[in-house]
């Protein structure tokens, strides 16, 4: 089966010293690639969601830190490592929730620290190789997630998804959408229900864009329509992504995911979280330990409107994520397989397997 073409969300252009990203704030009306060479522009792209999705953020950060190191004009190791550390800290400050960001930066730092006795020129080469490995490993993990997830689905299933966890959120294939993309390539005829995902509309702008481009039967629904389509019996599975997975199986994902999980439990619909093991945060015992990013109020009050749609001075609560309790999750689909309860045990096992 010929693989369907997919846009690349993150790439390295080493010849031009650039991080290349697909600007997701322009979708679905414009497909615009940005070639970012300045560190402030890379950090801004992560903050403003021009590149988004936990795996893609991690990949962008790895490439960004390599480019920061490459630009350091220092032959003295002390000066090199001081500037390298400052660049890492600046990238780490861009987003607080997606653990892939910090994991990728720590990987890059570990490589640099392990070769302190070598020249900065040699360290830069090693950092480039590590950044490319981050991209390659994410693509391989997403492909494996797709294979494992597809085994949970049947031809003709109705599938509901929230936010965007497709190839736009990763380096390739996606997480929650990877089983769908692989199934479409193999002739499966899924019926997709896409939550619009307020307030940033990642479902309407991004997931619908991906699925329509793949030729899937795609129906866009308001977030508050999820209960209706489940009650109608139109949904046989829910697939969502994850930005950080706690040690007990609590899953932090785009705001609104927890509500979808509660509805799925009520209507007896399997609810699957699709996430690479890189999203596991062993230091977070439960979802209560995961920091939740607060986004600007303007995303709700005026971002998508010609005129402001809320009274001046109204208080706004705009968390970017919520935490789905592990008791609501039917299974967690990783590159190592489908994890089942008790999640504390299965997550530890998957983390050990991934580390081998």
Provide the annotated active-site residues: 243
Question: What does the block give as tokens for 120?
Answer: 């900065």
Backbone phi and psi for residue 38, each to the nearest 5 degrees, phi listed first: -95, 140
Distance from chain centroid for Cα 262: 22
Closest CA to 211 of 186, 236, 194: 194
In what helix (H) or strand (E) does residue 147 lie, and over which residues does it extend? helix 120-150
Residues contacting 278, CB < 8 A, separation 6+: 55, 58, 99, 100, 103, 138, 141, 354
**Which two three-digit tokens encode residue 303?**
């971002």
CB 127 within 8 A of CB 65: yes
Tokens matching residue 15? 């010849």
DSSP string of 229-255?
HHHTT--SEEEE--SEEETTS-EEEET
Question: Cβ neighbours of residue 106 under 8 Å, at least 6 residues apart?
Answer: none
Find the helix or strand (DSSP H, E) in which 33 lies: strand 33-36
Interatomic CA distance for residues 14 and 76, integer angstroms: 23
Q: What is the DSSP letter of 53?
A: S
Can you read off the two tokens belonging to residue 309?
């749609």
Report the candidate in 135, 140, 221 with the shortest Cα–Cα distance to residue 175: 140
């Amino acid at each position: 089966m010929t693989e369907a073409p997919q846009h690349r969300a993150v790439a390295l252009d080493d010849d031009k010293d650039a991080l290349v990203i697909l600007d997701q704030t322009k979708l679905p009306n414009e497909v615009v690639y940005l070639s970012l060479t300045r560190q402030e522009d890379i950090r801004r792209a992560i903050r403003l969601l021009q590149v988004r999705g936990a795996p893609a953020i991690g990949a962008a950060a790895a490439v960004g830190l390599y480019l920061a190191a490459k630009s350091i004009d220092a032959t003295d190791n002390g000066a090199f490592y001081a500037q390298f550390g400052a660049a890492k800290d600046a990238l780490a400050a861009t987003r607080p929730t997606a653990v892939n960001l910090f994991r990728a930066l720590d990987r890059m730092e570990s490589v640099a620290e392990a070769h302190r006795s070598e020249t900065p020129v040699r360290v830069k080469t090693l950092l480039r190789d590590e950044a490319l490995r981050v991209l390659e490993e994410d693509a391989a993990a997403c492909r494996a997630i797709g294979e494992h997830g597809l085994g949970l689905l049947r031809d003709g299933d109705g599938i509901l998804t929230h936010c965007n966890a497709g190839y736009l959120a990763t380096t390739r294939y996606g997480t929650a959408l990877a089983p769908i993309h692989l199934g479409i390539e193999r002739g499966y005829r899924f019926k997709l229900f896409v939550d619009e995902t307020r307030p940033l509309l990642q479902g309407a702008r991004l997931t619908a864009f991906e699925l329509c481009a793949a030729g899937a039967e795609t129906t866009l629904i308001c977030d508050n329509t999820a209960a209706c389509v489940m009650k109608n019996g139109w949904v046989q599975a829910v697939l969502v992504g994850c930005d950080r997975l706690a040690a007990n199986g609590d899953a932090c994902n785009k705001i609104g995911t927890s509500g979808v999980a509660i509805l799925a439990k009520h209507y007896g619909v399997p609810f699957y979280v699709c996430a690479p093991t890189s999203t596991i945060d062993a230091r977070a015992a439960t979802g209560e330990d995961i920091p939740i990013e607060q986004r600007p109020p303007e995303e709700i009050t005026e971002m998508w409107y010609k005129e402001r749609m809320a009274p001046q001075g109204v208080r706004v609560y705009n968390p970017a994520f919520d935490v789905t309790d592990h008791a609501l999750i039917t299974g967690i689909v990783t590159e190592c397989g489908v994890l089942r309860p008790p999640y504390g045990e299965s997550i530890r096992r998957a983390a050990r397997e991934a580390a081998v």
